[in-house]
Chain A
């Protein structure tokens, strides 16, 4: 729930004269996405190794003299996993390799437009340098030092990774049950911040400990309230009543 403006972000001025603010993916997201991709590549190599062993051990004696083919395959395989995998993913699947897709992050240019072949080629060729001296140390270091968590390849290509958040709008439109006391007429209008706060509490309330749920509910009632003592008594009688009141209060103006 951190505000958009305090985390690293990318500002994009669209031709429609609206400023987009895209959240930047940090080092954690990127490492996890890389782990997913690396695992996929690892399994590719495991399978390739067994196939290759089968070919060369040559149980049937058919593949005698095929070792040059094997060598070619090896080069193709290394090429595919070192570079092709990443670039094909980023160019053809909207800036996402399977790992990035799983973590919901995406490569974009510095102006927010989708990444092209040249940029993707640069940033993935630079993996060789970002990997130096071992385990992406150089890349991680630059990610920590740059404002938008970019590694060397990103700097050279002019790209960065942004996050696709999964945001649920249902909480705004959840149905209100009609029972219980209505909002007092003296109540002031809530600010959007307070609405947000109340809705965030409501969407999480069912997962909270009973005491915590009660306490937080009571504090929110205090904050948004405008109730006299008798009404407050009634509202705080049970968690359900509290939350019903809060839900009505958040959407009182509908």
Chain B
């Protein structure tokens, strides 16, 4: 027969308190080897106490306390491997490009959607100029009507309320939203890709009609290729999530989603440093007349080329080429 609850608590409490103290210290910093051994031993004893409490004292506070104590110890002992610098390097050297190549179908579909949007936007504006009133934001139209680039003013000194945060954070927000709205069965990603394509196409066509094609090209040449690539990749990640929701395969939907989510987010995280870099290019190189158009175009094309060469070549091994032949197709 089990001992009465207070007896049980009184007898075992010292060990629990010791474990509790060790766990608190483990959070704060490193333990010595001896203390780690002690933590392990105490955890095992607490786990057996928990089993005892489950049997003889279910639904008491002692049971709840042990549950929680063991939960903390379990979390401390079975920690995921720490992501350290070597892991980060390995991620960018091998894992990120590999995941991208493996999921190239989704990235391709995402790119096709963006191109479709650009084509649509451009065609509409070229064919029917009044379409621009619908597709191009008002402020941009005003600038174009005055024959100026709207981007010229970004550089000038301005009070903070006129430094429009939606320009400054646009890339970041679009990238995050493109990925995250994949949760809406991929429809959000689809919409954002096509919508952004339409905007770009419409603005480009409008500039072309107003004889400012050169200016438009001048602005987007340096950062455009990489920036659009990043949005396309984020779109691919969003489509992966959408696909997992619509067609989870043999797994339950929740598990399929978690599995694909982990893969998809690698694409987004991999893009992050490039996004920051290209943001700097967009901020400092693209606007103004500091660099001639040919230099910007050359920079943009070579950056884009290097980016994609990295994505398609880095970390490639013979084993992978035979293992996943589809990835090397394009």
Chain A positions near chain B (C-beta within 8 angstroms): 3-5, 12, 14-22, 49, 52-53, 56-58, 64-65, 67-68, 70-72, 74-75, 78-79, 82-83, 91, 94, 108, 110, 112-114, 116-119, 121-122, 125-129, 152, 155-158, 162, 164-165, 167-169, 171-173, 189-190, 192-193, 195-196, 199, 250-251, 253-254
Contact = CB atoms under 8 A, between A and B. Distances in A.
Contacts of A254: 4, 6-7, 10
B249 interface: no
A74 B155 contact: no
Contact of A12 (B62, B65, B74, B261): B74
B5 interface: yes
6 contacts: A16-B48, A56-B159, A71-B163, A152-B183, A156-B241, A193-B59
Interface residues of B, number: 76
A70 B67 contact: no
Interface stretch (B224-232, B265-273, B293-301): B265-273
B165 interface: yes
Contacts of B150: none
Contacts of B261: 122, 156-158
Nearest to B269: A121
Contacts of B43: 16
B61 A169 contact: yes
B47 A68 contact: no
A253 B1 CA distance: 13
A154 to B, nearest CB: 9
Contact of B6 (A17, A56, A121, A173): A173
B169 A74 contact: yes
Given A16-B48, A22-B71, A156-B241, 11 more contacts: A18-B48, A20-B74, A78-B168, A78-B172, A94-B75, A125-B268, A157-B262, A167-B64, A195-B5, A253-B3, A254-B4
A106 to B, nearest CB: 8
B15 to A, nearest CB: 12
B184 A173 contact: no
Interface string B22-54: 000001000000000000000110011011001
B75 A164 contact: no
B160 A52 contact: yes
Contact of A250 (B6, B44, B71, B156): B6
Contacts of A128: 173, 176-177, 180-181
Contact of B10 (A5, A110, A173): A173
A83 B159 CA distance: 26
A190 B5 CA distance: 10
B278 to A, nearest CB: 12
Contact of A56 (B16, B157, B173, B279): B157
A112 B71 contact: yes
Given A18-B47, A254-B4, A173 B9 contact: yes
B257 interface: yes
Nearest to A65: B157
Interface in B58-83: 58-65, 67-68, 70-72, 74-75, 78-80, 83
Given A56-B157, A65-B157, A167-B65, A83 B50 contact: no
